[in-house]
């Protein structure tokens, strides 16, 4: 699990005091630290409180605001400081993006086993972020079709057989329409490269297979100029996010992934200008994928279940 944001800030500031980059009398402000590290004010506030508890900083006397590095802090910080294995970068990546991947991964690993409730407070507590940041993460999960807001909270629906088939049926309606619209936007060279990647994928792992799935279903189809269609596809493609996990744990079911040849058929038809044939091939591919997804999920339910993080709570898991 990633180290809490406030703790990473604490390590950096302690190291800077130990190295005299921050010297006695230097002022530390909550809002400036939050801006520097691209985080909300909550982890910045907690890091400053920890520095004060360690005796490295003290509250400024009125009318001043913030904290000030105290005398002899350098020696004390040197005793406490340790090398930073993962230095805190000062990029401007929003805080929600820094934790989103871990939350998404935790969710996609478990929705085959049941429905889950997520809370803003649980995510905020787990990662040391504000509830606003946690809310941004949940909003992004909703955009990707992984969670729904039921009014009283956020729920990730279970990937039941009915839900899986419903999602694929919807994709089989939407994605051929998008392919029709992007058929004249992709070059022959791009199609040749995609086909080459698919033909050379035998024996590759789940991460590579996941990429090849995304090349067609996301990379190509999201070039569609109809924003409403793009949004609908994204929400219907939530199952794609779990495929890497599925491939990793169900590889023995299909010695050669059937989708590889099916994607080649779609792209080859597109390459020769047979757009209707490509759309039909994509539709058939998605319907076949629906059957395979049900088999994978059924297999997973029999072999895997691990302890979820605290911010995931079982929700009507028998549904």
Domain ranges in the chain are 5-80, 95-158+306-314, 161-303
Distance CA 272, CA 195 (A): 13
Residue 57 exposed, middle or buried by CB count within 10 Å (0-12, 13-18, 19+): buried
Question: Which of helix, strand or coil describes residue 189?
Answer: helix
Q: Which of 100-109, 258-267, 274-283 has the lowest mean pLDDT?
A: 100-109
Mean of pLDDT values over 169-180 = 98
- pLDDT confidence of 190, banded at 50, 70, 90? very high
Domain 5-80 has CATH 3.40.50.720: no
Exposure letters 89-127 (e unless 16+ CB within 10 A, then b):
eeeeeebbebbbebbbebbbbbbbbbbbbbbbebbbebb
The superfamily CATH assigns to domain 161-303 is GntR ligand-binding domain-like (1.20.120.530)
Q: Does 244 score more than 80 pLDDT?
A: no
Q: Which two tokens stand for residue 227?
A: 């924003």
| CATH 1.10.10.10 for the 95-158+306-314 domain, yes or no | yes
Mean pLDDT of 246-262: 82
What average pLDDT does the chain have? 87
Return the bridge partners of 314, or none: 116
The pLDDT tens digits of the residues spanning 30-84 come to 988 887 877 778 888 999 999 999 999 999 887 778 899 999 899 889 888 765 5
Select from 285, 300, 282 the least CA-distant residue to 159.
Answer: 300
Contacts (Cβ under 8 Å, ≥6 apart) of 20:
74
Find the length of the chain. 319
CA dihedral 108, 109, 113, 119 (to 10 degrees): -60
Task: Answer whether 5-80 and 95-158+306-314 agree in fold.
Answer: yes
Residue 86, pLDDT above cutoff 70: no
**Which of the 8 DSSP states describes residue 314?**
E
> In the chain, pLDDT over 70 holds for what percent of residues?
93
Full-prediction pTM beyond 0.85?
no
């Amino acid at each position: 699990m990633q180290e809490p944001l406030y703790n990473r800030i604490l390590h950096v500031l302690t190291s800077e005091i130990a190295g005299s980059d921050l010297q006695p009398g230097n002022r530390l402000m909550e809002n400036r630290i939050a801006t520097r590290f691209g985080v909300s004010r909550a982890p910045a506030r907690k890091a400053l409180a920890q520095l004060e508890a360690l005796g490295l900083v003290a509250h400024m006397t009125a009318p001043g605001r913030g904290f000030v590095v105290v005398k002899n802090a350098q020696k004390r910080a040197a005793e406490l400081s340790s090398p930073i294995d993962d230095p805190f970068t000062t990029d401007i990546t929003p805080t929600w993006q820094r934790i989103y991947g871990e939350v998404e991964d935790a969710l996609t690993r478990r929705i085959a086993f049941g429905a889950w409730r997520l809370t803003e407070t649980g995510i905020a507590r787990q990662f040391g972020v504000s509830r606003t940041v946690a809310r941004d993460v949940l909003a992004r999960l909703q955009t990707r079709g992984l969670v729904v807001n039921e009014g009283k909270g956020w729920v990730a629906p279970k990937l039941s057989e009915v839900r899986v088939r419903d999602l694929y049926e919807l994709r089989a309606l939407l994605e051929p329409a998008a392919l029709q619209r992007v058929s004249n936007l992709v070059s022959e060279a791009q199609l040749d490269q995609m086909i080459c990647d698919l033909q050379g994928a035998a024996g590759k792992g789940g991460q590579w297979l996941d990429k090849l799935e995304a090349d067609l279903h996301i990379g190509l189809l999201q070039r569609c100029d109809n924003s409403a269609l793009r949004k609908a596809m994204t929400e219907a493609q939530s199952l794609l996010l779990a495929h890497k996990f599925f491939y990793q744990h169900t590889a023995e079911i299909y010695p050669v992934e059937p989708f590889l040849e099916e994607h080649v058929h779609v792209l080859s038809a597109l390459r020769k200008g047979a757009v209707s044939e490509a759309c039909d091939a994509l539709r058939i591919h998605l319907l076949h994928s629906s059957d395979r997804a049900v088999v994978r999920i059924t297999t997973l339910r029999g072999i895997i279940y691990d302890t979820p993080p605290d911010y995931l709570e079982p929700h009507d898991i028998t549904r």
